[in-house]
């Protein structure tokens, strides 16, 4: 690592979000192009930096700064250059020259110790002198804070966030309770806070450490889909994290509950588990239950026989208008929607959910009602629009997501809420199995009492990526009208995808004779052979068969790791489907390699990411915020100079990522079946050889098969496939919404 010292002549580029900066540094007679992450650096400042020289393929030699400190200018010319650079608001070159002419090399000391003396310079009032001193102090505080934080191995990007959050209070916070950083600042988890704490000398059995470790364990559980953990499991997992016994940690649960960080839910049954919630999760469940209770208005007992007959007559007319024939359960579904404030419609593929929804829509339109349709993802909303002929939106767009940060947590804010509710008579939500407890809470807040809420989904699919299992819990509560469609209709019954999906759910043997037109099984027991056939199917066989582009054909796999895991498959598929070329720019960082035209997926919800839809003339015709876990797009451009990557997602939404944000996307030629929820693809390829029993189960296979619209091809072992059908194991998800509902609606 080399050291350079000089003054910043010119800042060429700076990313306002992450602080990535390109600058010219003058060191003696030499001018050096430097790159790095820093927000507190200004033109004219003198720095001492450590780093390495690198050669950029386009921009040539650069000095990549790893660590730096700002040093006071040590001669009159340097001081004048800094003051006149624009770094101090209101001080230009002419004024800087007059200040330095008056005080010379003593200028810095005068500003810091005797700022009132600046008024001796023509053009500076006493008020102006104080303002200059304050700005110099603020900049000095920021620099000192950055230097201090770097001592503890904190990156420039995180150091900026810490200073912006705490200012000069950060010294006291770090000394007393560095674990507070994990709660307050995005990007700092328990492990980073724990590293800082160990360097500061905080003991492993510190109260702050134990409290933070317990909360972190619950946060990890939330990321795995749980709303709570049983107390014994929580203490066991936290103990493994902290290296402490359960007995040491248990007393802290009560203290955290008193501080309203936790909610401890004890059952009246002596042998029942004691449930420990992070507060936000418990109150999300409670709020959902209360709002469902309020919306659950029924007109059943108040209807006259003539009114009942009028509903039936209207349904008969709709059948004639749409040229359809509804079975008994479908008719009951329409009736229950009319008579109740809440209704749940569930069923597997081919059971007539779409036909039923269309009949429900037509009924309410005939009554002159305003109807909103929505789904959790863009793909699911698009599919709903195509199936019904009426506009459907994502739930986030329906609720008018505003990506503006809310405090330091950068939480999502919806413009539609209890103060500004949705103006609709009926709201129909498709793919409800994908909706987590927090999104559901936001939706319910925007619905007024008297509005009908219709929830549609397949309860047998995998639960939401986020916390909770909303659809299953609502159905398990048995407190609301619902219909589960089971009959497979003739047209759908012609599809072996549909039949085999139902066989999988029932645990029956699959028909694998390859006489089907849309469900194929190719016995292949060698990983390399599977790779070969997979590439052949994507590039040659399937595009013409299903009328789709190669990038629209999706490989789904149960696993992330291993020869047939997402990580390995994406590397292989990228090589063959989007090979390197002189015309395609690349970004590489460790094991990550992204290339222009790559297929990628957003892997976390980011409510602040701005997107825009651009016309063919390059003019933005629509803008918004929010890209979500599971959204798939194509890399349009990699800007090596600006350190940015442009991705176009569904509905032509373009997003610009800074390099520092690229941990939010990954290659998506292959994705896990979990990540494919709510999506539908023209063709699906599933490589299945062997894997852990808890993962290779019936539920996962069912979800994977039902993602295909026109064709499913399974490559792998017949034995493994049958074992998945036979394996009805499901990971338990700790969720209490059903219990909260039953508490409020006996």
Question: Per residue in 588-636, pLDDT tens?
Answer: 877 889 999 999 999 887 877 889 998 877 788 888 888 887 889 999 9
Phi/psi at 132 (nearest 5 deg)?
-60, -45
Give residue for tokens 């047209």: 491
C-alpha span between 401 and 543 (Å, rounded): 36
Report the SS3 class of residue 29. Answer: coil
Average pLDDT over residues 226-232: 94
C-alpha span between 131 and 329 (Å, rounded): 75
Average pLDDT over residues 166-193: 78
In this structure, are strands 653-658 and 606-614 parallel, antiparallel, or unpaired?
A: antiparallel
C-alpha span between 543 and 537 (Å, rounded): 8
C-alpha span between 721 and 702 (Å, rounded): 11
pLDDT of residue 485: 93
Phi/psi at 404 (nearest 5 deg)?
-60, 140
Between 87 and 728, whose confidence is greater? 728
Phi/psi at 50 (nearest 5 deg)?
-110, 140
C-alpha span between 650 and 377 (Å, rounded): 10
CA angle 736, 740, 741 (to 5 degrees): 120
Contacts of 511 (CB under 8 A, 6+ apart): 496, 499, 500, 503
C-alpha span between 72 and 105 (Å, rounded): 11
Between 544 and 691, whose confidence is greater? 544
Are 215 and 183 contacting, i.e. CB atoms less than 8 angstroms apart? yes
For residue 541, give the DSSP letter. Answer: I
Are 344 and 482 contacting, i.e. CB atoms less than 8 angstroms apart? yes
For residue 676, give the DSSP letter. Answer: G
C-alpha span between 724 and 718 (Å, rounded): 10
Per-residue pLDDT reduced to its tens digit, 121-144: 888 888 888 888 887 776 777 667
Picking from 137, 219, 133, 226, the residue whose alpha carbon sits closest to that of residue 179 is: 219
In this structure, are strands 681-688 and 708-716 parallel, antiparallel, or unpaired?
A: parallel
How many beta carbons lie within 10 A of that of residue 541, not counting itself? 16
Identify the weakest region by mean pLDDT among 263-272, 392-401, 581-590.
263-272
Query: What crossing angle do the helices spanning 76-83 and 93-103 adopt, rounded to 10°?
Result: 150
Alpha helices (H) in 201-245, listed in sequence order: 207-223, 231-242
For residue 400, give both structure tokens: 């008018």
pLDDT of residue 108: 74
How far apart are the two ends of the chain, measured CA to CA in Å?
A: 69
Contacts of 66 (CB under 8 A, 6+ apart): 1, 36, 50, 51, 52
Contacts of 639 (CB under 8 A, 6+ apart): 645, 646
C-alpha span between 125 and 129 (Å, rounded): 6
pLDDT of residue 514: 83
Phi/psi at 446 (nearest 5 deg)?
-95, 5
Alpha helices (H) in 66-179, listed in sequence order: 76-83, 93-103, 107-113, 126-150, 156-166, 170-176
Strands in 396-481 per DSSP E:
401-402, 413-414, 426-429, 452-457
Q: Give Dmax (Cα) for the chain.
A: 98
Are 546 and 646 contacting, i.e. CB atoms less than 8 angstroms apart? no
Residue 184 in this model has a pLDDT that exceeds 60: yes
Query: What crossing angle do the helices spanning 353-366 and 305-322 adopt, rounded to 10°?
Result: 120
Look at the alpha carbons of 345, 350, 355, 361 in this order and tell me if their dihedral is positive or negative. Answer: positive
Residue 298 in this model has a pLDDT that exceeds 60: yes
Most confident range, picked from 166-170, 319-323, 565-569? 565-569
Continuous segment of H or E residues that includes residue 52 = strand 46-56
pTM over 0.85? The answer is no
Percentage of the chain with pLDDT > 70?
94
Contacts of 126 (CB under 8 A, 6+ apart): 116, 119
Average pLDDT over residues 253-264: 92
Average pLDDT over residues 477-504: 85
pLDDT range class, residue 521, cuts 50, 70, 90: very high
Between 734 and 42, whose confidence is greater? 734
Report the SS3 class of residue 372. Answer: strand
Are 639 and 645 contacting, i.e. CB atoms less than 8 angstroms apart? yes
Report the SS3 class of residue 446. Answer: coil
Q: What separation in angstroms does the CA of 84 have from each of 81, 139, 284, 363? A: 5, 15, 54, 72
Picking from 709, 706, 345, 740, the residue whose alpha carbon sits closest to that of residue 548 is: 709
Look at the alpha carbons of 521, 351, 466, 609 in this order and tell me if their dihedral is positive or negative. Answer: positive
Are 562 and 677 contacting, i.e. CB atoms less than 8 angstroms apart? no
C-alpha span between 630 and 100 (Å, rounded): 58
C-alpha span between 273 and 108 (Å, rounded): 66
Picking from 441, 456, 436, 453, the residue whose alpha carbon sits closest to that of residue 288 is: 441
C-alpha span between 628 and 630 (Å, rounded): 6
Q: What is the mean pLDDT of the chain?
A: 86
pLDDT range class, residue 410, cuts 50, 70, 90: very low
Continuous segment of H or E residues that includes residue 656 = strand 653-658
pLDDT range class, residue 380, cuts 50, 70, 90: confident
Residue 305 in this model has a pLDDT that exceeds 90: no
C-alpha 741: how far from chain center = 28
CA angle 629, 635, 638 (to 5 degrees): 120
C-alpha span between 384 and 702 (Å, rounded): 21
How many CA within 13 A on the CB side of residue 302? Answer: 6
């Amino acid at each position: 690592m080399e050291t350079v010292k000089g003054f910043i002549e010119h800042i060429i580029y700076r990313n306002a979000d992450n602080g990535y900066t390109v600058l010219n540094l003058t060191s003696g007679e030499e001018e050096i192009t430097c790159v790095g992450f820093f927000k507190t650096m200004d033109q004219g400042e003198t720095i001492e930096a450590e780093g390495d020289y690198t050669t950029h393929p386009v921009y040539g030699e650069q000095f990549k700064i790893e660590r730096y400190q700002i040093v006071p200018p040590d001669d009159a010319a340097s001081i004048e250059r800094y003051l006149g650079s624009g770094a101090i608001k209101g001080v230009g070159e002419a004024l800087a020259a007059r200040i330095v002419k008056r005080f010379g090399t003593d200028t810095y000391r005068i500003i810091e110790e005797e700022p009132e003396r600046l008024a001796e310079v023509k053009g500076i009032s006493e008020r102006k002198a104080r303002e200059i001193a304050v700005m110099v102090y603020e900049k000095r505080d920021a620099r000192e804070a950055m230097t201090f934080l770097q001592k503890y191995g904190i990156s420039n990007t995180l150091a900026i966030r810490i200073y912006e959050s705490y200012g000069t209070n950060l010294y006291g916070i770090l000394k007393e309770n560095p674990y507070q950083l994990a709660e307050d600042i995005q990007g700092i988890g328990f492990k980073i806070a724990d590293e800082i704490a160990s360097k500061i000398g905080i003991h492993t059995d510190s109260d702050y450490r134990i409290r933070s470790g317990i909360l972190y364990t619950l946060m990890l559980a939330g990321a795995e889909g749980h709303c709570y953990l049983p107390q014994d499991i929580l203490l066991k997992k936290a103990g493994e994290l902290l290296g402490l016994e359960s007995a040491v940690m248990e007393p802290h649960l009560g203290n955290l509950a008193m501080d309203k960080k936790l909610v401890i839910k004890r059952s009246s049954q002596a042998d029942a588990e004691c449930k420990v919630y992070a507060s936000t999760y418990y109150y999300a469940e409670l709020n959902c239950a209360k709002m469902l209770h309020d919306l659950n208005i029924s007109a059943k007992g108040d209807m006259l026989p003539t009114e009942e007959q009028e509903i039936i007559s209207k349904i008969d007319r709709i059948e004639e208008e749409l040229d359809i024939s509804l079975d008994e359960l479908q008719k009951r579904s329409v009736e229950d929607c009319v008579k109740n404030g809440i209704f749940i419609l569930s069923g597997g593929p081919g059971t007539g959910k779409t036909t039923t929804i269309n009949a429900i829509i037509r009924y309410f339109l005939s009554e002159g009602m305003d109807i909103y349709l929505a789904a959790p993802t863009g793909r699911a909303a698009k599919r709903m629009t195509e199936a019904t002929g009426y506009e459907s939106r994502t739930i986030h767009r329906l609720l008018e997501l505003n990506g503006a940060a809310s405090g330091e947590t950068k939480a999502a804010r919806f413009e539609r809420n209890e103060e500004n509710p949705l103006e609709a008579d009926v709201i129909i939500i498709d793919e409800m199995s994908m909706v987590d407890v927090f999104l559901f809470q936001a939706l319910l807040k925007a619905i007024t009492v008297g509005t009908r809420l219709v929830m549609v989904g397949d309860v047998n699919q995998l639960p939401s990526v986020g916390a909770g299992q909303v659809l299953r819990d609502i159905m398990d509560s048995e407190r609301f009208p619902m219909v589960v469609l089971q009959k497979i209709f003739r047209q759908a019954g012609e599809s072996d995808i549909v039949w085999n999906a139902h066989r999988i759910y029932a645990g029956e043997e699959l028909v694998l004779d390859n006489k089907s037109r849309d469900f194929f099984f190719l016995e292949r027991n060698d990983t390399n052979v599977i790779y070969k056939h997979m590439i052949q199917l994507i590039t040659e066989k399937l595009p013409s068969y299903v009328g789709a582009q190669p990038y629209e054909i999706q490989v789904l796999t149960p696993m992330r790791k291993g020869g047939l895991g997402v990580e390995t498959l994406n590397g292989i598929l990228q090589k063959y489907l989007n090979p390197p070329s002189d015309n395609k720019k690349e970004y590489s960082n460790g094991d990550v390699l992204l290339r222009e035209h790559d297929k990628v997926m957003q892997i976390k919800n980011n409510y602040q990411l701005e997107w825009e839809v651009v016309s063919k003339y390059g003019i933005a015709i629509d803008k918004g915020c929010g890209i979500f876990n599971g959204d798939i797009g194509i890399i349009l451009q990699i800007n090596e100079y600006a350190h940015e990557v442009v991705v176009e997602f569904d509905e032509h939404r373009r997003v610009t990522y800074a390099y520092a944000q690229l941990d939010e996307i990954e290659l998506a030629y292959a994705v896990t079946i979990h990540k494919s929820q709510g999506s539908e693809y023209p063709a699906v390829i599933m490589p299945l050889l062997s894997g852990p029993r808890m993962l290779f189960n019936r539920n996962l296979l069912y979800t994977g098969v039902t993602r295909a619209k026109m064709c499913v091809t399974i490559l792998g072992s017949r034995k493994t496939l049958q074992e998945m059908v036979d394996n009805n194991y499901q990971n338990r998800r700790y969720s209490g919404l059903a219990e909260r509902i039953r508490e409020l609606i006996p």
